[in-house]
Amino acid sequence: MKIRTVRHLMKEGIVNVIRQRMMSLATIFIVIASFVVLGIFLILLLNVNELSTLVSKEPEMIVYCKYKLDDGEIFNVEKALKNNYPEIASITKISREEALEKIKNDVYAGKADAIVGLTPDIMPVSFVIKLKDPTQGLKIIPNVEKIPGVESVGSPLGIVNMIVGAQSWIRIITIILILLLMGISILIISNAIKLTVHSRKKEVGIMKNIGATDAYIKLPFIIEGMIMGMVGSVLAFMLISLMYNAFPSNFGLMNEGLFGQFRLVKFDNIIKIPLFGIAEMQFVLGAIVCTGFVLLGIIMGAAGSAISIKKYLKLRGN
Amino acid sequence: MIELIDVSKTYANGTEAVKKVNLLIGDGEFVFLVGTSGAGKSSIIKLMMKEESPSLGLIKVNGVNVNTIPHHDIPRFRRGIGVVFQDFRLLPDKTVFENVAYALEITERPAKQIRREVPKILSLVGLSRKYKSYPKELSGGEQQRVAIARALVNQPAILIADEPTGNLDPSTSFEIMDLLNDVNIMGTTVIVSTHEQNLVNKMKKRVIEIENGIIIRDEVRGQYSNEN
């Protein structure tokens, strides 16, 4: 087919969308609905990913010494950790001064008045521990707690394992849902186009009678599907980003501890994508999601149309 | 030239529409296919256009074995045959000009050629001044003229008209028949299926009568029926 003809048929497709505007609107709304559900799951997946990256940066274990230990006793605790636990990869000591500093910066940031007069004495010495295999962490905690001079052992490993576990499940569910929704959307678009084709069956018959090829008849319908898929997905993206931005980025319930640091992934986040290890390209996350959405919409619209018009042309035989 | 050799057509529901038909229509002929509704006229036309495939027998159109045309070559084959129907079958959302131009567009002719050819053919059918009108703004006779213009614009060797005057009043029917006659004089083979007695009798052309899927009469300058 010549470029001139393709251009002409694209114009026909656009005209058809406008001419059959009620049908087009109905299809577009259906595309929006499917894509909004799709988007919600994508956002969930993005955030779970973000959360798991965040928790994986946390120390795997923190061993808190008793408050009143002297330097010798603290040394003994460190020695016991180093000598008896080959599972440990590294130990970093946090002195009383460093602990107070951290509290000032993390918990009481901007509220210096509340901790005026506090001295390092009230803080315990602690050891931040990285493990060779984090999955073994939960096994050694009870033994570490029994070392003389150890007050308690803090570890987010339970939560980390839970999130990592949930992440893989959410990923699987999301992929299944995305495929399912894509299938449903293709089916819906294909049905909507089938109605359009059916309402123009006389026209299609005339085209065949005067010698139009299948490709010539099909192309405007495919363009129609692409336009509806594109418009629907763009509107769905706008709707999702509006709803998402209106959502509080930091849940009140999760202000404490580990989750206190977590914020919802923002669409205007800059993300870096390595290009074959040579350079890193910077993209705005929202642009990537939007492009993906629109491409998916266009592909699904085209696929939906192609299926129904192909079936229709087949039904009409020669 | 159109050649049907021992052609039969039995539809999926068991109806035997065409039974062992042998027929030869030469280049430049004007032929009437006559017979009652359901006699098999439309089936023969569909077979000639490859809208249906024969159950048995061989069909040749313009030297091409229609039986063996691959699916993707059917459109090209159809462009060599102009077709006109009883219900005109114009595209309702296109103007007269666009309807005729459509037949050229599908063959990917340049816009310049389309702008040159369409007015010529519209003037031939006497519709030069109505090129901007939509089908619903035209009378039945005018719509059929547009359909004829569309069928002729690709300069086909054969023009098939299936009951072209079925929806028209008698005087308009005669006008359309005159137009088809003019087309024939210019060299196009014209095949008209009809059951309008007056038209057939007036034209004095070759008449092929079909009954129950069989050719029962084939006369060079025939009448609608033997009783006349």
Query: Model confidence over B191-216: pLDDT tens digits?
Result: 999 988 889 999 999 999 999 999 99
CA distance B12 to B226: 34
Mutate to test the interface with A, among B107, B109, B112, B162 (most CBs of A within 10 A): B107
Q: What is the pLDDT of residues B41-65, one digit of tens each?
A: 999 999 999 989 999 999 999 889 9
- Same-domain pairing of A7 and A141: no
Residue of chain A with shortest Cα separation from B153: A210
Instruction: Examine the pLDDT at B160 and tell me if it is beyond 70.
Output: yes
Those of residues 105-164 in B touching chain A at CB distance below 8 A are 105-108, 110-111, 150-151, 154
- Same-domain pairing of A129 and A171: no
Contact between chains at A202 and B89 (C-beta distance less than 8 A): yes
Those of residues 215-234 in A touching chain B at CB distance below 8 A are 216
Strand partners, A270: A284
Number of domains in chain A: 2
Taking the whole predicted model, whether its pTM rises above 0.80 is answered as no
Q: What is the pLDDT of residues B101-155, one digit of tens each?
A: 999 988 888 889 999 999 999 999 999 999 999 999 999 999 999 999 999 999 9
- Nearest beta carbon to residue A210 from set B50, B74, B106: B106
pLDDT of residue A262: 65
Nearest CA among B44, B84, B81 for reference residue B176: B84
Set out the domains of chain B in order of their start, with CATH numbers.
27-53+69-219 (3.40.50.300)
User: What share of chain B has pLDDT > 90, as a percent?
Assistant: 73
- The ipTM value here is 0.79
- Same-domain pairing of A66 and A25: no
Q: At which of A107, A124, A155 does a domain end?
A: A155
- Same-domain pairing of A103 and A33: no
- Same-domain pairing of A40 and A169: yes
- Same-domain pairing of A172 and A308: yes
User: Do A211 and B75 contact (CB within 8 A), yes or no?
Assistant: yes
Mutate to test the interface with B, among A200, A209, A219 (most CBs of B within 10 A): A209
Residue of chain B with shortest Cα separation from A215: B72
Residue of chain A with shortest Cα separation from B76: A211
Those of residues 152-211 in A touching chain B at CB distance below 8 A are 202-203, 205-211
Q: Which amino acid is at A114?
A: A
User: What share of chain A has pLDDT > 70, as a percent?
Assistant: 87
CA distance A204 to B72: 16
pLDDT of residue A316: 54
Identify the domain containing residue A14 by its residue range.
3-56+160-315
Instruction: Examine the pLDDT at A254 and tell me if it is beyond 70.
Output: no
Q: What is the pLDDT of residues A65-108, one digit of tens each?
A: 888 888 888 888 888 888 888 888 888 888 888 888 877 776 67
Q: Which CATH number covers residue A142?
A: 3.30.70.3040
- Same-domain pairing of A172 and A296: yes
Contacts of B71 in chain A (CB under 8 A): 318
**3-state DSSP call for residue B187?**
coil
User: Could you tell me where the beta strands, DSSP code E, fall in chain B?
Assistant: 2-10, 16-25, 30-34, 56-61, 64-65, 81-85, 158-162, 189-194, 206-211, 214-219
Contact between chains at A209 and B74 (C-beta distance less than 8 A): no
Contact between chains at A212 and B91 (C-beta distance less than 8 A): no
Q: What is the dihedral of CA B52, B53, B59, B65, to 10 degrees?
A: 110
Q: At which of A155, A177, A207 does a domain end?
A: A155
